[in-house]
Amino acid sequence: MKRINTSRYAEFGKYTKREKMVKLLKDYGIRNQSVLNAFLTIPRHCFIPESEQEKAYRDQAVQIGYGQTISQPYVVALMLENLHLTPGDHVLEIGSGSGYVLALLSLLVKRVTGIELEKALVTQSRDMLKKLKIENAEVINGNGYLGYRSKAPYNAILLSAAPDALPENLLSQLKPGGKLILPVGRSQQLLVLYESVNGEWKGKVITDVQFVPLRDEKPV
């Protein structure tokens, strides 16, 4: 377990709001203390447009522009908890948006790589990560369906947007024993965790979810 200084970003304010959010996550059944500490530490409001600031610590997805959202805290916490991350891991996040989940992951693992299609969000994400002095996360402007082979293999891959079906090429970018978690589907979506069992990939459904679609396009 990585030691997390939960007051690291106290100067950014709204710490008591984060405490209330973490209490809610506990009430919903999140038990991993490192995950809870990460949510307590990272100032979610810094990754949200000013016009949406009042929603920053509600348990809901929030619009961040370009048709994208920052995901519901409980669902993100559930995804992180189910990956059973360790401090030495390298994680790939696909659809990294404004960088909030990257910031959370930076406290939990050794290294995190994000892919985001919208160039403006890539710039925002890089700027905020730099402002928070997070040095073990990077963001690539690219098509998430392709993953990012040049930095593979990964211990875990997390998708923060939903493809219609599993992009199976992502499985080949995982280390042996690696895990992939993603929302999948169009009108009705499921959160699914993929793990290799006796040499075969098996999917485990965790819950119903609603994410923005993962776009299969050239970076913009």
Active site residues: 71
CA quadruple 100, 103, 104, 109: dihedral sign: positive
C-beta separation of 206 from 182 below 8 A: no
C-beta separation of 217 from 95 below 8 A: no
Which residue carries 């960088």 as its tokens? Answer: 99
CA quadruple 198, 203, 207, 212: dihedral sign: positive
CA quadruple 43, 45, 46, 48: dihedral sign: positive
Distance CA 106, CA 203 (A): 26
What are the tokens at 205?
Answer: 């459904």
First to last CA, the chain: 37
The strand ranges marked E within 21-98 are 62-65, 68-70, 90-94
Burial 67-79 (b: 16+ CB within 10 A, else e): ebbbbbbbbbbbb
Distance CA 137, CA 169 (A): 23
What are the tokens at 32?
Answer: 């991993």
